[in-house]
Each structure stands twice: as C-alpha cells, then as structure tokens.
Amino acid sequence: MASDSIYWNESAAPAHLSAGKALPERIDVAIVGAGYTGLATAIHLARAGRSVAVFDAAEIGHGCSSRNGGMVGPSFHKLGVAGLTSQFGEEKANAIMQEGMNALDYFERFVAEEKLDCDLRMTGRFRGARSIADYDATARECDRLHKAVGLPFEMIVEQNQRAEIGTDFFNGGVVYHRDGGIHPRKLANALAAKAVEAGATLFPSTPVRGLRRNGTETELFCGDRTVTARDVVVATNGYADSRTDAMHQRVVQIRTGAIATEEIPAELMAELTPKGRMFGESARIFMWFRPTPDGKRFIFGGRMGEPGCSPEERAAAIRTAALRIFPQLDSIGVAHVWHGDVAYTPDHSPHLGFEDGVWLAGGYCGSGVTRSLYFAMKLSRRILGETGAETAFDDLPFKTVPFKPFSRKLADLLSRWWAWQDERDLTKRA
Ligand SMILES: Cc1cc2nc3c(=O)[nH]c(=O)nc-3n(C[C@H](O)[C@H](O)[C@H](O)COP(=O)(O)OP(=O)(O)OC[C@H]3O[C@@H](n4cnc5c(N)ncnc54)[C@H](O)[C@@H]3O)c2cc1C
C-alpha cells in the first residue's frame, strides 16, 4: 500500500501555474488559500478588473480541495428539516434548504458554462439505511424536502436494493437523483487555470505568516516581504491556524480519511455499482463511497480511525468498514490512503461575511464542493458592491467557537461516542 498518497493527485497532477512570479507590493485583493473558495473568488474578482493575488502555503489545491470525495448534491443542512424548523420556524428553514438547491444549480451551470474539465457526472446517490427505523426516518425527511424545495428522490425497498448496490447490508435506502460526482483535483486545476486566464496571479508555496490592519488597508506578511491589499479574503477553511485567526477561531477542524482500492475487475465493479452511483449510509459516523471517474476503483472515506492514527491504521479502519458493505472486496488491496481537515461550525451552517477586518467564506461542515463555488460568487458580489449577494445564511452570525483550544479534542470525543453508538446499534441488529 502506498502510504499517505492522494489518489486524485496520481490521476491528475497538481497545477503549477504562475509559480516563481515576484510578489506584488500592493494589490486590490489578496486571497489566502488556493482551494475552491479562493480560486473561484479570484476568477470573479479578476474578471471585474481587480488586481488579485492568491497565496497558498503549499501547492495549489493542497487542502480539502484535492482530498475530498468529489460528491456533489444539494448538501442541505446537518440539522435536517425538523431541526431547522424547530430552531428557526418553517419559512427560514425552507429558505436555508433552498440554498442547497441554489448552490447545486449554480455549480452545475458554472461547470458547464466555463467548460471546467472535472468529470462532473450526475449519477445519483444511493444512501443505504442501516435499520428499518433509519429507512422510515429517511422517507419522512425526503418527503418534507420534496414538499419544501422539490427534491426528487426514490425510496428503494430492501428487496430491490441489489439493482442499486451490490450488498445486502442495508435495509433499503433512498436514491437522490440530483447528486453526482466530480474529480476533485481536476476541479481545482480547472479553477486555477481560469483564475490565471482572468488575470489573477497564484503564489503556491507562499504561506501568509500574519495579517495587520493598517487604516483602510491590510498588510500581509509573506516570508520576508509585505504585501498591502485593499481587501483580504481568508479562504483557509479547515487549514486555518492562528496565521488566519479570523477563520481559525470560527471553525472546528475535523480530520477525515479516505482510501482508494487497487483496480477492481469490471464484472465486480458492475455488481457493486450497477448504475455507477455515488453512495452513503445512515450511520452517525457514516462512510461515503464511490467509484472513481474511470470506473476502475472504489474510494471509501469517513471519520474512521483514532485521532492521530498512522496512515496504515487509518487505511485498516476504513477498509474494515468497507468490507462490511462489500465483502466481495476482500481480495482487493488498498492502493492509496490520505486524510484532510474539514471545517465544522458550532451551528452546522456554512458562513460568509466580513469579520475582524477580512472577508471570510467557509465552514462548509464537510460538504463544500458545491457550496464553495456558490459562496465564492456571493462573496465576490459583496466585495464588488453588486446586487444578488445575499444568502439565507446572512442573518446567522459567524460566531467564534467556544473553548476553541479544546474544540478538536471535544469533537474527537464526540466522534468516539457516536462511533460507539453505531457499533452498539449494529450489534443489536445482528
Ligand atoms: C476526505 C474528505 C472528503 C470530502 N468529501 C466531500 C464531498 O464528497 N463533497 C463535498 O461537498 N465536500 C467534501 N469535503 C469537503 C470539501 O472538500 C471542502 O469543503 C472544500 O474543498 C473546501 O474548500 P476551500 O477552498 O474552502 O478550503 P481548502 O481546499 O481546504 O483550502 C484551504 C487552503 O488554505 C491554505 N492555507 C492555510 N493557511 C494558509 C496560510 N497561512 N497561508 C497560505 N495558505 C494557507 C491551505 O494550504 C489550503 O490549500 C471533503 C473533505 C475531505 C477532507
């Protein structure tokens, strides 16, 4: 097994655009973080005539944007319809749910209009129910979503699930017809190429050491140089640390891992995913899984493995979970294992806005592929003073995380508790 190597980078190498350019002294907009959020924001602002520089501490797309599962869909909200309704009332809950559909519509349109080469295929996603109670709860939730925002879905009873997925592990499930998949590294590369084409300059391997507000401008400390910017966008999301403290203080970083298998014989692939769908399941610490865009391997991911575990331990934990669903993969090895740090927020909502003197967009809670491009467009409009910048999240404050120094540890403890509950439920079921 190749240790700690990202499958997506092997099947599409990281872009090396505008590396080696001299740092500017002064710029209209400095963007910290060259993932989907930073790169997409750069495209809009550079096209509007702003001089734009994007800095990344590592290579372009080094963070979650080259490490994710590449699964797209409406990504509604972790609280679900009932949770949102009890917190905000029906109208606001529906508006937040509608943003999920808006983000997906925008994402599909943007990829098509810009001809972004990222293997986008709207294959649909099957989400398996681990129990009959989960199946019933999913049916109720989908019904509400259909009524609220027109979500198309199809409940699949257990007897018919083999037409969707090569397993008997689930008690049926749901097909989300508006879901699909992309190749994450290809999307990062395509956005980087568009940003450069629009006139932005990308600075890989250029960590921003800190920011200092100076009157109406902000100074960015990059190595031994200082860059002065009128506007600063912090797009460091789950990779934020005290150098971009405005983001760091507002998100909880949660580590999540992934594996890619060795190549799988074509007949077995056809059995595992007869319709080439994306997959998920109803557990608290759930696994997501999907075929690679070339249809030759499977990728599995989730928050399995102890915090701080080695790549081998992470691979073993994810493989164990995968074999529960697909015991047919027993003789197929793991070719790649990697991890990434996603950004959660205490209210489970993504946020964008102006905080502590900088523009922020992030906190996508593990569902940032469509949201990041949508938020980049909204944030750009806001910076440019254009109309159409509002979102249903605007009146939810992007609060700092309470007990921030302990937040990662607390999140790990919570994950362990949920994983224990999942195991208990499976034991009961057996
Ligand atoms: C394993 C995994 C699976 C996932 N699967 C999915 C999925 O299937 N669907 C989905 O919708 N979402 C998924 N996500 C989440 C999604 O990938 C992210 O929400 C999204 O990529 C966030 O993009 P971003 O541009 O905001 O941040 P990132 O891509 O994380 O970019 C942040 C960048 O900031 C840079 N940076 C940090 N500090 C500095 C500094 N001081 N100076 C300069 N640069 C700095 C980092 O190097 C990094 O490149 C997954 C994430 C992981 C880890």
Nearest CA to 239 among 411, 8, 67?
Answer: 67
- Cα 367 vs. chain centroid, distance in angstroms? 4
Per-residue pLDDT of the chain (430 residues; tens, 9 = 90+): 546 799 999 988 877 776 678 999 999 999 999 999 999 999 999 999 999 999 999 999 999 999 999 999 998 888 888 888 998 999 999 999 999 999 999 999 999 999 999 999 999 999 999 999 999 999 999 999 999 999 999 999 999 999 999 999 999 999 999 999 999 999 999 999 999 999 999 999 999 999 999 889 999 999 889 999 999 999 999 999 999 999 999 999 999 999 999 999 999 999 999 999 999 999 899 999 999 999 999 999 999 888 789 999 999 999 999 999 999 999 999 999 999 999 999 999 999 999 988 999 999 999 999 999 999 999 999 999 999 999 999 999 999 999 999 998 999 999 899 999 999 998 887 7
Instruction: Please name the residue whose Cα sits nearest to atom 12 of ligand 1.
Output: 367
Residue type, 218: T
Token pair, residue 31, equals 């963007």
Instruction: Please name the residue whose Cα sits nearest to atom 18 of ligand 1.
Output: 368
Ligand 1 atom closest to the Cα of residue 62 is: 49
Q: Measured between alpha carbons, how far is 79 from 86 in angstroms, rounded to an integer?
A: 10
Nearest CA to 75 among 284, 374, 395?
Answer: 374
Ligand 1 atom closest to the Cα of residue 73 is: 11
Nearest CA to 81 among 66, 68, 93, 63?
Answer: 93
Q: Measured between alpha carbons, how far is 96 from 98 in angstroms, rounded to an integer?
A: 5
Looking at residue 282, the DSSP 8-state letter turns out to be -
Which residue is it, tokens 């349109």?
109
Token pair, residue 235, equals 């797009």
Q: Which helix (H) or strand (E) holds 224?
A: none
Global model pTM greater than 0.85: yes
Q: Are 73 and 180 in contact, with CB atoms under 8 Å apart?
A: yes
Helices (H), 154-263: 184-198, 245-248
β-pairing, 351-355 vs 334-344, is: unpaired
Beta strand extents in 135-207 (DSSP E only): 153-156, 173-176, 180-181, 201-203
What Rg do the C-alpha atoms of the chain give, in angstroms? Answer: 21
For a substitution probing ligand 1, which of 55, 127, 206, 236 has the most ligand atoms within 8 Å of its CB?
236
With b meaning 16 or more CB within 10 Å and e meaning fewer, what string describes 201-223? bbbbebbbeebeeeeeebbbebe
Q: Is 65 in the pocket of ligand 1 (CB under 6 A)?
A: yes
Q: Measured between alpha carbons, how far is 286 from 300 in angstroms, rounded to an integer?
A: 11
Q: Distance from the CA of 233 to the center of ligand 1, in angstroms?
A: 15
What's the CA angle centered on 50, arms 362 and 42, to 5 degrees? 35
Q: Is 248 in the pocket of ligand 1 (CB under 6 A)?
A: no
Non-local (6+) Cβ contacts of 245 within 8 A are: 356
| Residues paired with residue 259 on neighbouring β-strands, in sequence order | 300, 337
- Cα 289 vs. chain centroid, distance in angstroms? 14
Token pair, residue 105, equals 């519509």
Q: Distance from the CA of 169 to the center of ligand 1, in angstroms?
A: 31
> What domains appear along the chain, each with residue ranges and CATH number?
16-68+185-251+346-402 (3.50.50.60)
Nearest CA to 280 among 189, 358, 169?
Answer: 169
Nearest CA to 213 among 70, 415, 383, 354?
Answer: 354
Backbone phi and psi for residue 314, each to the nearest 5 degrees, phi listed first: -65, -45
Non-local (6+) Cβ contacts of 351 within 8 A are: 250, 345, 360, 361, 362, 363, 393, 396, 398
- Return the pLDDT at 3: 60
Nearest CA to 181 among 336, 291, 27?
Answer: 291
Q: Distance from the CA of 365 to the center of ligand 1, in angstroms?
A: 11
